[in-house]
Structures are given as structure tokens and as C-alpha cells.
Amino acid sequence: MAFELPPLPYAYDALDPYMSAQTLQFHHDKHHQAYVTALNNLIKDTPLADKPLEEIVKASYGDPSKQAIFNNAGQHWNHTLFWQMMKKGGGGSIPGELETKINEDLGGVDKFKEAFTQAGLTQFGSGWAWLVVDGGKLKVTKTPNGENPLVHGQTVLLGCDVWEHSYYLDYQNRRADYLKAYLDNMVNWEFVAELMHKG
């Protein structure tokens, strides 16, 4: 069964002015769609064709002969979560339990934001910044290109796309401003808390 592009869970202009409708149109309709299309073409008539996405991501990771499959499967997985991690009027207060965990493991919300921003800024080239659960503890990480915490045995709570296509129309070279807007004005913390409860 071929993979399908999930619809955006909100209107294209829902995140404006922090992420423009134009950016979301290209990012969702073109970039994400291209990953889905490429993935479907690559796994067609192969043993991976009927496997769940997570299994394809894990099975293709680190295998040079499956690099293209990994790139596109990883990005399909990453983007599917990414859309849900944002919402209109996002970035407000963090649900209590999650905030307590951030305070315990990461030294407070400000320290978490600082670490997450640094991860995004220092991911050279294209990639992602993440908040994950690793061995029961929260951790901030980063990955290049389509790689994600799934292949490192970590549970994703939050991820920010720092490929330039995610912010170039709105912020150009100012990746730091984009990361700040993401954390302060876009993150859907209720969804993040839900991911934590699911473990």
C-alpha cells in the first residue's frame, strides 16, 4: 500500500506571520509530497513495500544501498510529526507534567530553549533539532538531513526542521530568529505532552 501525504492539520495561514502560508504551501505540498512520491517509487515491488514507515526507516538506516529509501522515509516520518508539533497560537505555556520533567532533566525551560536553539544553529547544512526521551530522560539532540531519533532508539517529543526550505522565504539567513519563533509562537505543547505520555 502506497504512502500518502497527510493533510496539514490547520490552514496554510494558521502560523502566519511566524511561518508564512507560502512557506507551508511549498513545504507541505511540494517538499513533503516529493518525499512521499520518491519513497513510494523506491520501495515499489521490493520487500519493504508493505512495511510500516517506522520499520522502513529503521531497516534502511546505515545501509548505503538503501540510502535514498532512508532519506525519503526519514523525511516522510519527520514531516508528518512536524506538522502536528505546531499550531495556531502555539508556543504558550508548557503543560505542568512536561514542564516539571524539563526542569528536572534540562535545568529549566529557558535552559531547554537555549539548548534546543543551539542544536538547531549548529546543525551545519540541512537537518533537525530535537527534544527526545532517551533512557527515561529528556535530551536535546540534532541530526543531519533526513536522519531522526527513531534510529537511535529515542522517543521524539519535539522536532524543528532546520533545512533552509523551512524558513528561507520568511527568515533567509536568520535561522536563530526562526528557531525563536518556533519555540515561542508555534509549538503545540499539548501534542508534545501527549507524545510523552504515549512514551
* Touching other proteins, residues 167-196 (CB under 8 A): 168-169, 172-173
**Applying CB under 8 A, what is the total number of residues that bind other proteins?**
21
184 is in an annotated binding site: no
Q: For the chain, percent helix, then strand, then coil, each to nearest 5? A: 55, 15, 30
What single-letter amino acid sits at 111? K
Nearest to 78 by CA among 142, 135, 19, 140: 142
Residue 174 Cβ vs other proteins, minimum distance, rounded to whole Å: 8
Q: Which residue carries 531522526 as its cell?
A: 148
Which backbone phi and psi does 146 adopt, to 5 degrees?
Answer: -95, 0
> What is the rounded distance in angstroms from the CA atom of residue 44 to the CA atom of residue 38?
10
- Determine contact, residues 134/154, Cβ cutoff 8 Å: yes
Would you call 130 helix, strand, or coil by DSSP? Answer: strand
Residue 169 Cβ vs other proteins, minimum distance, rounded to whole Å: 7
Residue 160 Cβ vs other proteins, minimum distance, rounded to whole Å: 16
> What is the rounded distance in angstroms from the CA atom of residue 36 to the CA atom of residue 124?
25
* Touching other proteins, residues 111-170 (CB under 8 A): 124-127, 144-146, 163-165, 168-169
161 is in an annotated binding site: yes
What single-letter amino acid sits at 105? D
31 is in an annotated binding site: no
Q: Which is nearer to other proteins, 112 or 130 (CB)?
A: 130
Q: Which is nearer to other proteins, 31 or 113 (CB)?
A: 31
- Determine contact, residues 28/15, Cβ cutoff 8 Å: no
The verdict on 63 binding other proteins (CB under 8 A) reads no
Q: Which is nearer to other proteins, 60 or 71 (CB)?
A: 71
Site string for other proteins, 15-34 (x = CB under 8 A): -----------x---xx--x
Would you call 157 helix, strand, or coil by DSSP? Answer: strand
32 is in an annotated binding site: no
Give the footprint of other proteins on this chain (CB under 8 A). Answer: 26, 30-31, 34, 67-68, 71, 124-127, 144-146, 163-165, 168-169, 172-173
Task: Detail the residues annotated as belonging to a binding site for Mn(2+).
Answer: 27, 79, 161, 165
Annotated binding-site members: 27, 79, 161, 165
